[in-house]
Amino acid sequence: MENSLDSILVELGDFGKYQIYVFVMVCIPIVLHSSVHVAYVFTAMDLNYRCEIPECDQGSQIYEPPWLINAVPHTQGIPNKCNMFQYNSSFTQNETTCSSSNFNNKTTNRCSSFIYKTQEQSILQEYNLQCSDNLWKLTLVGTINSFGQFSGLFVAGVLYGRRKVMVWGMVLCAICGLIRTLMPTYELFLFLEYLDAAFSAGTYISGFVLGVELVGPKKRVITGSIACSCNATGFILTSIVAWMVQSWRPIIYILYTPPFFLISYLWIIPESIRWNIRKGRIEEAKSTLRKLAKVNGKEITEKTLDRISTSNNEVEQIGERNQFFESLKSPVLLLRFVNACFGWTACAFVFYGLSLNSVTLASGNKYMNFILSSLVEIPAYFLSPFFLSYFGRKRSLVGFYILAGAACIAFIFIPDDIQEIGLTVYMIGKFGATACFNIIYVFTSEMFPTSTRQSYMGACSTFGRFGVMVAPQMPLLANTWTPLPLICFSSMALLAAALTLFLPETLNIRLPDTIEEAENISRLKK
């Protein structure tokens, strides 16, 4: 059956001047959302510091003076952050250096003040979160941010439409972000971090859908890839800002101020035509189509506009939920669903884990590493559709899982003194993880019946958020053994690759409409 709105969009121009204008406008909040979404990577990052030795430092802020090896325990040439050798009172002010005789290297004491390697400022100093027993408080910020995104997704876009969610979500996010800089305690900071993420949760998907829904069917792949690239652009913007100012409050001020200008979007861009139709706002949908036709230099008749019809969306949603649970009675679909949920969790875990872990790499500049790990996403977004077309869904997904997992393992064995090779291998892993994330969206949407497809996609995406929530905790494992996070990333990717082999290939397969067709999907040739 011909989709009336799609056919109208084709008549008016798949990607004309009006669609380009709206699409460019919605890309801006996508970039802004992505930038604030990962700001915690730098506002709550761990820093390099060591104990201040009052008798030796005497007001100096030099991180590695010549005498430090005598005063502080070292591990692989790196000074301990929070312990120093016990000072002997035999030290006199006439001595010019602190020799080994001034310290008892058999006894260590915990220090109360610190000297930092750089001028960087994070909440570590603000809330006194130094030392390994407080590291979990830094990593918890990322998990709380992800949990805020997770909980906010349940209501985003359901009641208020794409445009309002995109605008007011970012404005409320900005308010919470700026207030967060004034919080006197870590607990209040964490609460505002949660609200910030919860309010902005629907911005990306609302902007993505708002832009993609307005173009013709043939242009949705390219516009979707561009929208995903805007997500990477936001990550890059955050790293550049953090690199420039290197202080957590200015980072927030710079990234969280621009969203206030999005209030103008309530007047300068339209609400989603499809959302208006589903909500019965036919006249608003028709008004947008008239404006689209005028800007694109096309004509549209009232007879054409009358082809738009409403549907009882609420009844459809209730019916879909009931059919979703009914379909899970099928052992084939239940196992397929569990398999897909694990794949989504693995994709999210490896993708975000490699992004966050890039700032903790021993080699290279942390800001440049994060920029590179974000930049490599862009070719992955544009190339993965070609792999889907030529190699199929299953082989492409398995191949990129293996690529990501193998790169993580290989990186462990590359010495730090050959940084270029190490970073290249690491970025290959991030490329593979990004391609997996892009492919699994398409693959999942093709494996389940039409009547429950949206419910399955939503459920899989929800489970995927658990991978996002766990990823920020990986630095805690690095304290136990440095390669452990990469081993976890690799294990998840390789296990997901093995499980993907049990999923059906959907290339050149007609999308299943019923449970029975989904169970026997390999027979549905186009």
99 or 261, greater pLDDT = 261
**Strands 103-110 and 83-87, sheet pairing:** antiparallel
Looking at residue 311, its pLDDT comes to 43
Going by C-alpha positions, the residue among 478, 497, 33 that lies closest to residue 228 is 33
Rounded Cα distance, 216 and 417, in Å: 51
Q: What confidence score (pLDDT) does residue 92 get?
A: 53
Fold category of 316-526 in CATH = Growth Hormone; Chain: A; (1.20.1250)
Each residue's pLDDT tens digit, 141-186: 999 999 998 888 766 645 566 788 899 999 999 999 999 999 999 9
CA distances to 232, 242, 356 from 359, in Å: 16, 12, 6
Q: Does residue 462 contact residue 151 with C-beta atoms inside 8 Å?
A: no
pLDDT digits (tens, 9 = 90+) for 235-259: 999 999 999 999 999 999 999 999 9
Each residue's pLDDT tens digit, 288-341: 888 988 898 888 888 777 777 644 444 445 455 567 778 888 899 999 999 999
Q: What is residue 321's predicted lDDT score, i.e. its pLDDT?
A: 58
| Res 11 pLDDT > 90 | no
* Greatest mean pLDDT among 60-64, 314-318, 434-438, 517-521: 434-438
Q: Provide CB contacts within 8 A for 476, sequence distance 6+.
A: 135, 136, 139
236 CA to centre of own chain: 12
- Contact call for residues 13 and 218 (beta carbons, < 8 A): no
Three-state DSSP class for residue 330 = coil
Q: Is the Cα dihedral 490, 492, 498, 501 positive or negative?
A: negative
pLDDT reported for residue 141: 96
**DSSP 8-state class, residue 525:** B
The answer to pTM > 0.75 is yes
Using the 8-state DSSP alphabet, how is residue 99 labeled? -
CA 333/CA 69 separation, integer angstroms: 62
Residue range(s) in the chain whose domain bears CATH number 1.20.1250.20 = 1-46+135-311, 316-526
Q: Which residue's entry shows tokens 């979703």? A: 324
Cβ-based neighbours of 142, under 8 Å, separated by 6 or more: 40, 41, 44, 356, 471, 472, 473
- Cβ-based burial of 117 (10 A; exposed 0-12, middle 13-18, buried ≥19): middle
Q: Which CATH superfamily hosts domain 1-46+135-311?
A: MFS general substrate transporter like domains (1.20.1250.20)
Separation of alpha carbons 146 and 29, rounded Å: 19
Q: DSSP letters along 279-297, please?
A: TT-HHHHHHHHHHHHHHTT
Q: Tokens 């390669």 — which residue?
A: 483
Token readout for 83 is 């312990």
Residue 96 burial (10 A CB sphere; 0-12, 13-18, 19+) = exposed
Query: 435 exposed, middle or buried (CB, 10 Å; 0-12, 13-18, 19+)?
Result: buried
509 vs 232, which has greater pLDDT?
Answer: 232
- So what's the pLDDT on residue 489? 97
> 424: Cβ–Cβ under 8 A, 6 or more apart, which residues?
none
Residue 58: pLDDT band with limits 50, 70, 90:
confident
* Those residues with Cβ within 8 angstroms of residue 308's Cβ, 6 or more apart along the chain or in another chain: 4, 5, 8, 277, 282, 285, 286, 289
